[in-house]
Structure 1
Amino acid sequence: MRADRLIQALLLLQGRPQITAAELAAELEVSVPTARRDLEALAMSGVPIYPTRGRGGGWRLIGGARTDLTGLTQGEVTSLLIGLTQSDTASPERIAAMRKLVRAMPEPFRAGAQRVAAATVRDAPWGVTENDAAPPVVAELQRAIADDRRVQLEYRGAASIEVVPLMIGSRGVRWYLIAAPVVEGADVADESRVRTYRADRIEGSRVLSERGIAPAGFDRPRVWAEMVERVEGFRGAVRAVVRVEPWAVRALCDRFGVQAQLLDDPPDRDGRVRVEVQAHRVDALAEQLAGWTSAAEVVEPAEVRTALRELGERIAALYRGEAAESRERR
């Protein structure tokens, strides 16, 4: 709608010394003549903007005038962007909203917002994704990224550490921090000491006043892909072949994500489909498969079948004991 475009055009003018019709057209994804007409419409409606002609010309607000359409502070803008980046679905509307929000905000706000947007990843499944709530520490780490600050982490099983947060992202329901200490005597993170931390194992965090920035040319997509590949290796150390009822194949594959692979096409004579699934340990794989016994049977290896049987025996013993206690009380 044109009214939406005019508001976006005004926000862009507020955030820049000047803007050309061609630049506005690229931002709003419209033609140059349409962008020029929008700028003229703003001027005719009383907005104090004027064009400058010739090389280096464009449209600008008279005297640096500002119209605060939102009343948002820098902290509120960062919080809004954090909420958008933590959402589980990267819909076209949400992506467009983040892009427009970052581009339209005034210059002092924009750099931190761009860092948050670039350093936050919402990745593919690793199991179920019904619970979309990010741990509270995620927003705190994103604010540290926005402000170029170091953080003090209390990480389970390790001494307190001071790091520069470089990326924060999720894989399925699990959130990860990629961070590194600074180079000695500098504010820049040491790329040779980058580590991955699970957010659910961060027992405490504190944003510090000391500055901490990413190394020049830090390749976030490559670093994230390497982390995923490394964790995939841990998760896929144990494999099992499972015969699955046709109606449950898709659900089981969705549950295991990239750790599931179809082996049969078409199904066997019984209509079942063989699927290979993976996990990092035998007992973990057995626990994940225990809820699928009505729809899936483990064919191999014997270790997983044994682990499932032992798990079933422990469950049966537990509930036999509860049933006996209940009868005695009666």
Structure 2
Amino acid sequence: MAGATPQQPARKPLLALTGATGFIGQHLLKELPKRGYRLRVLLRRPTMLPQGCASAVIGDLAKPYNMAEALADVDAVIHSAGLASTMSGLPEDDYRLFNTEATVGFARAAERARVKRFIFLSSIRAQSGPTCEGVLTEDREPQPTDAYGRSKLEAERGLAETGLDWAALRLTLVYGPGAQGNIARLIKLARSPYPLPLAGLKAKHSLLALDNLVEAVDRVLAAPAPLKRPFIVADLKPLTVGEIVAALRQGMGRRAGLFYVPRPMLKAALRAAGQAAGCEPLFGSLVADPSALKRLDWAPPVATQQGLAALTQHSMR
């Protein structure tokens, strides 16, 4: 029509991201711009960023500065910074300061800046210990068993006391390139040239592929209704430790190489070798149900066994 003004392209949502130098944060930083988001990375100190990402230096999140400017015009926050569960041995006060108090203080700054949604990367450990009877859902009473889990749960409760629209993503064990902790130990085990006595272990474990986490963040960002709740985030199919090792070895082009040893005998052998500490997940399950997230149209693109195989293929390049 003559004289019509051409429509302006829709403004891409602006996200503020913390923890961008960490294992999960680096992946979000790389993948979210591909989905149409602009990113502003909030940093403790100046650092190099990928082209197209803005930054704002806010210092230590426990004592931030410049927050009003850093959060100006931000549509949503993704808060992935904090002390990790792998940092064992730290005083409980440290977890409370960095994972609880800093998170709640940051959320209140976001509320003052009129941020529309605050996404907190929590942990399944806010809900249970390293193993749990039955299937975990958000309706079960949280029972964290360590300082890390308690600090995450208290942060979630602090968010609930703000006026923000918030979502806490209770992540199960995340795997992908650069993963540390239990995933790194499982990869090391899978690389062993020897057959392994894992065929008799029946305990199942929920894992989470990095790409499935990105999809979850995208779905939560896009959800139209107020959320104000936690969401379990886990791949759809839990696996035994033997199945995990078999998938990792498949990515190396190897057979599973597993054999059966009765559980009592395996436990006795681990005790005799001084390896019993930290082996609780071998014998107890941790299965988490992401049905609430699926109701937001979350459809994880990566199947767990294929994702694990791809992980070791990546590590061999």
Query: How high is the TM-score relative to the length of structure 1?
Result: 0.26
Structure with more contact order per residue of length (Cα contacts < 8 Å, sep ≥ 6): 2
